[in-house]
A and B are shown apart, each in its own frame.
Chain A
Amino acid sequence: MKLVALVLVPLLGGLLAWPLGRRRTEWARIAAVLALGVDLALALSLLGPAGPGGWLATFELPWIPSLGIGLRLGLDGLSLVLVLLTLLVGLLAVFASWSEIRERVGFFHFNLCWVLAGILGVFLALDLVLFYFLWELMLVPMVFLIALWGHERKTYAAIKFFLYTQASGLLMLLAILGLGLAHQRAAGSWSFAYGDLLGVSLEPTLALWLMLGFFAAFAVKLPVVVLHTWLPDAHSQAPTAGSMVLAALLLKTGAYGLLRFAIPLFPDASVRFAPVAMVLGAIGVIYGAVLAFAQTDLKRLVAYTSVSHLGFVLLGIYAWTSFSLTGTVLQMVAHGLSTGALFVLAGALYERTHTRDLERLRGLAPVVPRMGAAALFFALASLGLPGLGNFVAEFLVLVGAWEVRPIPTTIAALGLVAATLYSLRFFQRAFHGPAAEAELADLRPRELTVLGAMGVALLWLGLAPQPLFEVVAPALDVLLRTAGGTP
């Protein structure tokens, strides 16, 4: 029941925020904060020893019984970590947009809450049709967030984002239905339950095609290079909260989908596909880094760093070893925090200077020293400075992937060097050089709190990641056992 509440609370919070925002804008923000805060407490209360199969909690209710579709939810360590990340970033996003969003505040928070609810649902769903349902559900409010509160080319970016994700989503739907059909042919009854579909034996060719259907959807979200072109547009055009949710959370649903569904459901096909995926991951690391280096738009730069960082995630997932998976999960969390923070900074800069152009931002460090310090901290986090979460994550991924496939791993490792280049270039461009002559307000306490929370979390992940490992380990063990990887 708690799991249903976990999804319902933000939905209701959003429904409340909309009409409240028409009365007074502050009420909408408070409603969103309250809903997400309650949800966070709820999620924390689920922490505990894992039950059989690694599950901390499960829920089941029939939905469309004639087709074996049910409201099946389940939470294991992996889901829990991502749920906590979602709620934390969601809360911070509300704070970060406190002064940025001035128009249609109620509707903004409605959309934000519904996106978060959809993402939470995706992390919890254990029925494939329900999963698809929620997968699509989080799209529409996200499109609204971009299309309504975005920057100059918001409509273009929103439509592009929608088309990419929807088109790939349809392929996944076909794969889900195909898998359900295969189960029906084998077992004689309909079911779309994750547990039932895990054991379906498939003809290798069919399995490969179905796996590719899933991979298409997740690869667009992740994004895998070639399918990534929606990302720089969507990220740079979205408002700060939208960029945060996109980078920190939406991309993670792709990684989560690969971990939870694409590989365990089709272990053999995934083994055949792994070399391709790992090479794609390595290419993504380098390609994202090179393009990030060439950007002049601050938000586009950060967007391309996401492509690069998520290349490590793809590499780690398809290496499918205990080390690489642990690193992947940590990378998901750390990237969510560091990139989210960079978008908060970009948003704060844009609010003050009305530009995201690195050619025009110069010598800001003396003017806004606190902002400069924060930017340096998160730029260093992004390049993988030891002591911060990203370093541990990337190191674990590389160690894990090295055992399996050394060549792509070596290429990916070069990405770390490139990361140094683009991170420092960004910092040096915007904050060093002759002091700017502008009068700008430094970070306000609210912004400092948001960034501070993210910074502390990154430090914690970098210095003492063990608690996180302990939470996800049982879940990852179960996944490894189902799909037969090297433990």
Chain B
Amino acid sequence: MTGAAWPLLVHLAVAIGLAAGMMAVSHLLGERHRERATGEPYESGIVGTGELRGRLSINFYVVGLLFVIFDLEAAFLFAWAIVAVEAGWAGYAGMLVFLVLLGVGLVYEWRQGALDWGRTRRAIERALAARESSRRPVTLAGVPFERGTPVGTKGRR
């Protein structure tokens, strides 16, 4: 242990001590209720209604991920653009490879239907065709799909 570390330790001790102390004091002195609404979550003084764990469409996550990926990757392009001339043809080739990789990824996602929001007509046709061929339950974005349900561009029933 070197001399440089002890202020850090003191700081740590004070921080933990302070937090523990505040909790201990409020535990000892605080009022305690045990009534009907005590355990309920509330917002702005209003008791909430309904389930907290509503299910969101998987598409939100997929699109979110796509955004993160392509946004980050665009950042690489900027970095390269600054030194494009100095990096020369080797750098250019490297960037091309990078873009090809991105392109393959994009093609893959597109073909998997990750870019389709909800049930597009094409996705449904394809799913039906698949059902004919494999006789396995057809699902679209995790929702079981039956023939004859109305087709729309909105995903949620």
A/B: CB atoms within 8 Å of each other: no
Residue numbers of B with Cβ under 8 A of A are none
Residue numbers of A with Cβ under 8 A of B are none
